[in-house]
Each structure stands twice: as structure tokens, then as C-alpha cells.
């Protein structure tokens, strides 16, 4: 190929992968990073994502989590499952972005729906982390109001409601009217609860107050 001919980003990307894996050439992650950079400059998304992963790990480039987030997020918004998977882990661990388990779970659930390898187990783990943090948070709230936010139940009114919420017998979900409480009737059908079935407290809508 003559110098005047522009190589396609696919070709540059494939060469970068060869350098990254030492496949037919000596492994050289710095060279791989340079080539990813070149293909990324042509807006080739797999290269944008993989360059981000190199910045995430400090592999072939100086470690830079903010830069990693910027690049991986750029590929993720174009619905690249591999990028979304890495982004979910960054939200889970607060790497390059503020830790946000809800956002991590949302992204990981998307990967799980796309059958991305390992993502089902990862989504389960994030959900467990959310449950643990949520129960700890709810236990620390004063039991005077039944507070719902657009994200979750923020505070319970009585001990029995707290237990039902922790057991997930009663949950919060968004409806077209806003956040609402859901439970089950005697036949196990899901119903909207307009008040606490134990003490009669009426839910109030409050701003999201959780930080975890």
C-alpha cells in the first residue's frame, strides 16, 4: 500500500489487535494504543472503546480513568455491548465516574439481555450489592414516614413494612402517575397499595436521597 493511500480504520484496528495479543507480531501494547488512537480518530467505535480500556488499565498508555470513561462512554452511547459492559463495571466501582449502583445495574441488565458473556452473573452481583446497601440505608432511617422517590422506597413507616420491603414482598415501581407501592393480594396477584397494609400510613413522594 502506498503512503498516499489511507488505510481503512478496520485494517488499522485489526493490526492494533494483533499487537495487543502478540498475534503474528511481537506483543506491543504501546504500538496497539497508537493504532487504536489512529482508528479512533476516524470515529471507529471498537477502537474508541479499546483505547478506553487501555487507559482504564494503564496498558500501553498512562492510566487515566477519566479519559477511559470518556472513550468507553462514547462507544457505549452507540449501544456497543462490550463498551456498555465496561461502563457498568466503572459505575459499580466508581472508576472514572461517580459510583452509581442503579446505573451499573441498568447497564449490566442491558448486556444480560444481549447475552453478553458474564453479564448475567455480574448483574446478579450488582443487585445483591444494591440490596445490601438499601437494607443498611433503610435500617438507618427513622420509621415515621412512608417515603417513595422516583428511584426507590426511601423510608418505611413501621417495622412490619420495613421487613416486607427488605423481603421484597412490597416494592416500589414507577407508574405513569409517579412512584407507587406494589404488594400482593391473597391470591398472589400484584396490586397497587395506596397505604401501608400494617399501620395505614399513606406514601409521600420525596426527592431521591440515597448515596451509594
Q: Identify which of residues 120 and 199 has a Cβ nearer to Zn ion in the complex.
A: 199
Are 39 and 16 a contacting pair, CB within 8 Å? Answer: yes
Interface pattern 110-149 for Zn ion (x via CB under 5 A): ----------------------------------------
Site for Zn ion in 182-211 (CB under 5 A): 196, 198-199, 201
Closest approach of Cβ 198 to Zn ion, in Å?
4
Closest approach of Cβ 137 to Zn ion, in Å?
18
Are 152 and 172 a contacting pair, CB within 8 Å? Answer: yes
Closest approach of Cβ 154 to Zn ion, in Å?
14
Q: Is 158 in the site for Zn ion (CB under 5 A)?
A: yes
Q: Identify which of residues 63 and 195 has a Cβ nearer to Zn ion in the complex.
A: 195
Residue among 93, 101, 91 at smallest CA distance from 126: 101
Q: Is 45 in the site for Zn ion (CB under 5 A)?
A: no
Q: Identify which of residues 77 and 192 has a Cβ nearer to Zn ion in the complex.
A: 192
Q: Identify which of residues 109 and 143 has a Cβ nearer to Zn ion in the complex.
A: 143
Please give the Cα distance from 169 to 57 (Å, whole number). 41
Q: Is 76 in the site for Zn ion (CB under 5 A)?
A: no
Which value, in Å, is the radius of gyration of the alpha carbons in the chain?
23
Eight-class DSSP state of 157: S
Are 122 and 108 a contacting pair, CB within 8 Å? Answer: yes
Beta bridge partners of residue 147, listed in sequence order: 155, 204
One of 108, 157, 172, 181 touching Zn ion (CB under 5 A): 157
Q: Identify which of residues 47 and 153 has a Cβ nearer to Zn ion in the complex.
A: 153
Helix-helix angle 81-93:119-140, to 10 degrees: 30
C-alpha cell at 6: 489511507
Looking only at the bridges linking them, the beta strands covering 190-193 and 171-175 are: unpaired
Site for Zn ion in 160-179 (CB under 5 A): 161
Cα torsion angle, 115, 110, 89, 82, sign: positive
Q: Identify which of residues 103 and 145 has a Cβ nearer to Zn ion in the complex.
A: 145
Residues that bind Zn ion (CB under 5 A): 157-158, 161, 196, 198-199, 201
Amino acid at each position: 500500500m502506498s503512503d498516499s493511500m489511507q488505510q481503512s480504520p478496520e485494517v488499522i484496528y485489526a493490526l492494533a489487535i494483533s499487537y495487543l495479543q502478540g498475534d503474528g507480531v511481537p506483543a506491543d501494547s504501546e504500538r496497539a494504543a497508537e493504532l487504536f488512537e489512529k482508528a479512533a480518530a476516524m470515529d471507529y467505535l471498537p477502537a474508541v472503546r479499546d483505547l478506553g480500556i487501555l487507559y482504564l488499565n494503564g496498558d500501553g498508555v498512562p492510566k487515566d480513568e477519566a479519559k477511559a470513561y470518556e472513550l468507553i462512554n462514547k462507544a457505549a452511547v452507540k449501544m456497543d455491548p462490550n463498551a456498555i459492559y465496561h461502563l457498568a463495571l466503572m459505575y459499580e466501582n466508581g472508576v472514572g465516574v461517580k459510583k452509581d449502583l442503579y446505573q451499573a445495574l441498568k447497564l449490566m441488565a442491558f448486556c444480560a439481555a444481549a447475552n453478553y458473556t458474564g453479564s448475567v452473573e455480574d448483574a446478579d452481583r450488582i443487585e445483591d450489592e444494591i440490596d445490601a446497601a438499601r437494607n443498611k440505608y433503610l435500617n438507618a432511617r427513622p420509621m415515621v414516614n412512608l417515603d417513595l422517590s422516583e428511584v426507590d422506597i426511601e423510608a418505611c413507616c413501621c417495622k412490619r413494612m420495613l421487613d416486607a420491603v427488605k423481603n421484597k414482598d412490597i416494592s416500589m415501581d414507577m407508574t405513569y402517575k409517579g412512584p407507587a407501592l406494589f404488594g400482593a393480594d391473597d391470591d398472589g396477584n400484584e396490586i397497587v397499595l395506596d397505604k401501608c397494609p400494617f399501620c395505614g400510613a399513606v406514601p409521600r413522594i420525596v426527592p431521591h436521597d440515597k448515596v451509594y
